[in-house]
Structure formats: structure tokens, C-alpha cells
Amino acid sequence: MNLSFLATLGIGKTNSGAFSGTWRKTKGETLTVRSPIDGGTIATVTMADAKDYAEVSKAAHETYLRWRELPAPKRGEYVRQIGNAFREHKEALGKLVALEAGKILQEGLGEAQECIDIADFAIGLSRQLYGLTIASERPNHSMRETWHPIGTVGIISAFNFPIAVWAWNSMLALVCGDSCLWKPSLKTPLCAIAMTKIAAQVLGKEWSALVGLVIGPDLTVGSALLDDPKVPLISATGSTRMGRIVGPRVAQRFGRSLLELGGNNAILVLEDADLDLAVRGIVFGAVGTAGQRCTTTRRLLVHESIVDDLQKRLVKAYGQCTIGNPLDKKTLIGPLVDEASAKAFDHAVASAKEQGGQVICGGTRAKVGKALKNGAYVTPTIVRCKSMLPIVREETFAPILYIVPIKTLDEAIALNNDVPQGLSSAVFTRDVRAAERFLSATGSDCGIANVNIGTSGAEIGGAFGGEKETGGGRESGSDSWKVYMRRQTSTVNWGNQLPLAQGIKFGGD
């Protein structure tokens, strides 16, 4: 690949791992950034240490104190320009995501588009930070709710969406009047540097400390972020294991956290489903991003009368998915992010077999050419299970799809909900009653429930997130912006008496 696009994104051979309005002369350990495609070195980053963290946090906080005074639509104007800069760099950003995270180029471009979309959404939002007016029980009194900026938002992001997750958080945070402090995955630091450079250039000297960045180890920089009283909200995307650390630690200091953790997403395929549609939805959901989305389809709950037919069709479709270099146009499945992920894949396949699952296709490392031999390529895998084996309840970040036959809709809904995670879910059916039941209070318990589309690939306009071990957070569209602001309730007495609420008489006549 011609890597000249890296220079257009401001990525050098060596890079600083901290931005506080200026790129700091970091002195931490050197991080060598390798592409999951072939293990080749792309660049190095000199990581931030606790001292860098303190400076980034201070600059972000101080800039917030001024930024919050700017009218929200004026803040939206900056976000409009940032969105335009994302547009200009879409191609290069898509390539960088492919190179650093190993996604196929189409998905890298899709992720860059998500950043553009959320910027557009945030611009409109900057004129719609609506509060309520409330009827007061007292004469000549008015009540209202106002939304105010909260401060610096800490953003912890994972390798699998190395630019979009930051954009979902930061574009909203900026129009809400907050500043940001980003701690990206150490697997994808260059994406973070590129996005920070784009936003910082638009924000200019006066405001660029609003997009703080610290690339550094969890134990120093990560800890400092979690314990920082100047960061009232931590938005963290990653594993449930990570969430178990972040949630209580931030709660300890009465900070807020927005958690986007693991998913174990099922598609229900009922007897009357349009199978052509279902196959397309399932294949994108299960093998897209090599099974490394939190919304990836991991379980198929299929009516017993069609399960063999559907399985056959899926095996055929899987056979047509080209595995290889994600930059090749014909590739549909790129590498896993690293060898540790491939080991987790091997382990899950072995456990499934041990527990009585039958591997229908895949289950092995993929044969790729010599040039890619240092990448972690696996074959997309289907495992047929008689019931929900213990391994089916776990999230393995790899393209493994477990098929479990079901007899009734009730049984399928019960199984859909019978996992610790609660992110995404879908049903394929032509029956409006079944579809509505799935979406009802007694249906799917997930934050996302779809009909006749897969579990992944959500649009930014809706609130994104899930229940149970997924963490309960919502980000991106709808009214998720409220998490990035503090709510103030105000009562104004415009009369000349002082009546008390609840009819209380306190002294006087």
C-alpha cells in the first residue's frame, strides 16, 4: 500500500502521544504501531505519562471554562467546520482505519462516514438543547429545567471503532459546551492522532485544548483519568471486564460513567422469514469486521423447520466470503486485531466442541499468502448447538456464529434474553404480531431490537447502547446528549408573596 496518505493526516514516523492544545514532548515508553494486516510497522508513538496527563487535563478544563460561555449554536459552527474537515479527509481516514484496525476499506470508509454523520447531527443539536417548563403549584411562580455544560468528558475507546466512538462522544460534548480528554486503545493510536489533528486545526490556538489526547498505559494514564475529579463524565467503550473496573472506580468519586461494553447479539429467524433477506443480514452481522463489533451477530435462534435449509445457505454464503488483505476490493473478511484475539478464537472453537457443539464450517486459521503470514486470519465459523452451551453465553471477539434450533417464539425470546449481555437483537419474520411481540416489553431485553435487518450497523440518529453487562449507557443520537450536560431545575417567584410548596405555613399569620 502507498502510505503517503499518512502524511496528509499529519502522521509521521515518530509521533507524540499527548495533545493539550500543543503536541507535548512526551517521554514515556515508545509504542510501536503494527498493522494487523501483515504485522508491519507503521510508525511509533512516544507515550504520555502521568505528568502529561495532568497537563492535558488542566488545559482541557481551563478551555472548557471559556468554551461554556460561547452560545451553543456558535459551538455548533465549529463542529460544522470539523465535520467538513472529516469530509475532506474521508478517504484517508478510511484507509487509516483499514491499515491500523484491519477493517476492510468499505468498513473503514463507513466508519469515517459515521464521524461526518454525528457531526451533522451535533450541529442541529446545537440549536436544540431543549429544557422543559413545568407547572408550579404556587401562584405567580414559574418552573423550568435548563441544561448546562458539565466539564471535561473522558473518552476511553476500543480498537474496533478507532475513530467513530470518539466522534460520537466528542461532537456531542463540544456542542454541549464540554471539553474532551481522549484515551484511545493502544492498538489504534494513529487514528486518534489523526482525528485530534483534524479537529485541532479547525479549533485553532484558542480552542484546540478542547480535544485533549493522552496515549498511554492503563496503569498510569488510565488510572489518572478514572480518578480525576476534573472529569465529571467518563464514557468508556470496551470489554465487560474493563467496565467492571471503570464503573465502580468512577462511582467512588461520584463521577458519572457511560458504559458501552460487551454484546452477545442474537438473530431470531422464524418459520415465515424471508430467508434471502435473512442470509444477507446474518452474513454481514456475523462476519463483518471479522466478528469484532460489539454488535456482531453471535447467535442464531432458528425455527426447527427451517434450520437445516438456512444453515446450508449460510455455509454456501460463507464459502464465498474472501478472506485476506482488507485493502483488496474483493476481501470481505480481514484479520483479527492480533494473535491474542486469534487464540481466543481457537479457545472458543475448542470449548464449543468439548461442550458438544458441531463445527459446520470454519474453526481454523485461514490460509493466506506469505505476505500476510504475520497477520491473525481465521476462517468464519458456524457451530451448530442443540442448546445454549456455556460458551454461547460468552462474547468472543471473532467470527463465530452459534446456531440453536427453537420451536416457538416464546422460547426464542427467552433464549435471546438468557445471556449476561443486552446490546443488540433482531428478528426475521413476515408476521407483524411476532415482530411487535419481539419489540414489546415482554420481548427482547436489549438496547437495540430490529426487525428484518441484522444486529449491527446502527445509524447514528438513534441512541446506541445496551442493558445488563453491556453497561446501560446510551450515546450517539436521540436524547443521549443529556448525559453530557447537567440539569438545573429553577423556580422563579414573580409575585410579591412567598407561598411555600406543599402548603406549609412557617411562622407569620
DSSP secondary structure of 174-200 = HHTT-EEEEE--TT-HHHHHHHHHHHH
Q: Is 293 in the site for ligand UN1 (CB under 6 A)?
A: yes
Identify which range of 170-178, 192-200, 290-298, 427-435 contacts ligand UN1 by CB under 6 A. 290-298
Establish if 470 lies at the interface with ligand UN1 (CB under 6 A).
no
Task: Classify residue 51 by its DSSP letter.
Answer: H
Selected binder of ligand UN1 within 26, 240, 257, 295 (CB under 6 A): 295
Element (H, E) at 44: strand 41-46
Q: What is the spatial distance between Cα 313 and Cα 120, in angstroms, rounded to a whole number?
A: 39
Active site residues: 260, 294
Residue 420: HSE in the Cβ half-sphere, 13 Å Cα cutoff: 13
Q: Between the CA of residue 167 and those of 20, 163, 184, 434, what are the distances in Å? A: 18, 6, 12, 36
Exactly one of 126, 237, 264, 429 binds ligand UN1 (CB under 6 A); that residue is 237
Among 163, 175, 283, 458, binds ligand UN1 (CB under 6 A): 458
Is 298 a binding residue for ligand UN1 by CB under 6 A? The answer is: no
Angle between helices 164-175 and 105-125 (to 10 degrees): 10
In whole angstroms, the minimum distance from the beta carbon of 307 to ligand UN1 comes to 26
Output the smallest distance, CB 478 to ligand UN1, in A: 14
258 binds ligand UN1 (CB under 6 A): no
121 to each of 87, 124, 128, 203, 293, how far by Cα in Å? Answer: 14, 6, 11, 19, 23
From residue 410 to residue 449, what is the string marking binding to ligand UN1 with x (rule CB under 6 A)? ----------------------------------------
Pairing verdict, β 421-422 and 467-468: antiparallel
* Residue closer to ligand UN1 (CB basis): 237 or 379: 237
Q: Contact between 10 and ligand UN1 (CB under 6 A)?
A: no
The nearer residue to ligand UN1, 36 or 149, going by C-beta atoms, is 36
**Minimum distance of ligand UN1 from residue 165's CB (angstroms):** 6
Residue type, 166: W
Contacts by 410-413, CB closer than 8 A, 24 or more apart: 412/268, 412/270, 412/301, 412/303, 413/268, 413/437, 413/438, 413/442, 413/443, 413/444
Residue 191 touches ligand UN1, criterion: CB under 6 A: no
Binding ligand UN1 (rule: CB under 6 A), the pick from 208, 456, 470, 480 is 456
What does each C-alpha distance from 30 to 42, 51, 192, 266 come to in angstroms?
Answer: 13, 16, 16, 41
Enter the C-alpha cell of residue 109.
470508509
**Site for ligand UN1, residues 125 to 164, rule: CB under 6 A:** 160-161
Among 171, 202, 269, 294, the residue binding ligand UN1 under the rule CB under 6 A is: 294
Q: Which of 96, 82, 90, 95 is nearest to 112 (CA)?
A: 90
Count of residues touching ligand UN1 (by CB under 6 A) = 9
How many C-beta neighbours within 10 Å does residue 465 have?
27
Q: Find the shortest distance in angstroms from Cβ 112 to ligand UN1.
A: 12
The values of phi and psi at residue 180, to 5°, are -125, 150
Question: Which residues within the stretch 106-125 sit at the binding site for ligand UN1 (CB under 6 A)?
Answer: none
* Separation between Cα atoms, residue 186 and residue 165, nearest integer Å: 15
Q: Counting contacts by CB under 6 A, is residue 457 touching ligand UN1?
A: yes
Contact stretch for ligand UN1 (CB under 6 A) within 57-65, 383-391, 452-460, 495-503: 452-460
- Lookup: cell for 133: 417548563
| Residue nearest ligand UN1, CB atom distance | 458
For ligand UN1, the closer CB: 115 or 174? 115
**Nearest distance from C-beta of residue 220 to ligand UN1, angstroms:** 25
Quick one: 63 or 265, whose CB is closer to ligand UN1? 265
- Cα distance between residue 150 and residue 394, in whole Å: 36
Nearer to ligand UN1, 28 or 83 (CB): 83
Nearest residue to 83 (alpha-carbon basis) of 202, 208, 213, 180: 202
Q: Which is nearer to ligand UN1, 293 or 437 (by Cβ)?
A: 293
Residues linked to residue 134 through DSSP beta bridges, in sequence order = 143
In the complex, minimum distance from the CB of residue 265 to ligand UN1, in angstroms, rounded to a whole number: 10
Residue 124 Cα to chain centre, angstroms? 22
* Interface with ligand UN1 (CB under 6 A): 160-161, 237, 293-295, 456-458
